[in-house]
Chain A
Amino acid sequence: MLLMAAAFMPAIARSVDLGKLPSPEVITKHLSPIVSSQRYDRDGYVAESLGPITLDQAAIGLAILSSVGTAARQQAATGFGSWAPSSSSHAAASDKQPIAHAVGGKPAGRPVPFRHSLEFQPRETKEKCCSWAKTCYLSHLMAILKKNAFSRRVPDLVTEELVAVLSRRSSFEFKQLFDIVHENLRARNAASGGEEMLRLASL
């Protein structure tokens, strides 16, 4: 399990020497299957299990390990998100830019400043570089979207209608344009101003 954890989190190798662990054959010699049984007994319910650890202990252990793993993953994802805007502030200009930046934009042998200080050699396959770059890019996007999720913004229906009318291939005077926009807003029951009027009334 530790070996598996090390595969997902390279940082674990810094604090645990995985070479000192006994081989799987030695460990499995001391392990036996967990046998459990459940039955009704008079007014109660008896659950028994037999093995190196009980079934409950195994379940609790698995739950703890999975929660620790999830927390570590989330922390890693947050790390990518916080790193991305500082090093590529121009990344939002184009959606292909961050990927191109990681694939071809780095000089040979220079470490890419990811959270785990992964060093991408120039001879590595482009697919691998792309997958890391995409991961980083998605984390960056998630960070941005997460920030927007908390903003309290009223949908701008007037602009929406203006855009819808102006997208037709003809030019309008303001009065003409407003007549159409107002009709459309009335049809949507949005001509009264709604929350925007409430905001103005409070001023």
Chain B
Amino acid sequence: MARKCCGLRAYEKLQNLVARGAVKKNGKKYKGLPSALANAIAQQNGHLAGVK
């Protein structure tokens, strides 16, 4: 049950990353774009874009 819930949450987060352009979806395969992923995780942690 917990694993299923975690799967749903992970799928939702993955689709968010795809929508934000941080992950590229090719058929059933997902590939991360490192720079966009770094930006996405920084924003999620409350950092400002472009501020070191």
In contact, B30 and A174 (Cβ under 8 angstroms): yes
**Chain B residues within 8 Å of A15, by CB:** none
In contact, A163 and B41 (Cβ under 8 angstroms): yes
In contact, B17 and A166 (Cβ under 8 angstroms): yes
* CB proximity of B39 to chain A, nearest CB, Å: 10
In contact, A153 and B46 (Cβ under 8 angstroms): yes
On chain A, which size bracket covers the interface?
35 or more
Say if the beta carbon of A177 comes within 8 Å of chain B. Answer: yes
Main secondary structure of the interface of B (DSSP, over half): helix
Say if the beta carbon of B7 comes within 8 Å of chain A. Answer: yes
**Chain A residues within 8 Å of B30, by CB:** 166, 171-174, 177
Instruction: Select the stretch in A58-66, A92-100, A126-134 that faces chain B.
Output: A92-100
Q: Could you tell me which residues of chain B, from 8 to 37, have a CB within 8 Å of some CB in chain A?
A: 9-11, 13-14, 16-17, 22-23, 26, 28-32, 34, 37
On chain B, which size bracket covers the interface?
20 to 34
> Do A162 and B10 contact each other (CB < 8 Å), given the known contacts A95-B51, A167-B32, A171-B31?
yes
In contact, A95 and B10 (Cβ under 8 angstroms): no
Question: Whole-angstrom distance between the alpha carbons of A81 and B32 in the complex?
Answer: 37
Say if the beta carbon of A202 comes within 8 Å of chain B. Answer: no
Q: Among B37, B46, B50, which residue has its beta carbon within 8 angstroms of that of A94?
A: B50
- CB-nearest residue of chain B to A153: B46
- CB-nearest residue of chain A to B14: A162
Give the 7 A-B residue pairs with the shortest CB-CB distance, closest first: A166-B32, A171-B31, A171-B29, A159-B13, A163-B41, A163-B37, A95-B50
Interface of A with B (CB < 8 Å)?
92-95, 141, 144, 148, 153, 155-156, 158-160, 162-163, 165-174, 177-178, 181-182, 185, 191-193, 196-197
Instruction: Provide 5 A-B residue pairs closer than 8 Å at the C-beta atoms, listed in order of the A residue.
Output: A158-B9, A159-B41, A166-B17, A178-B7, A193-B6
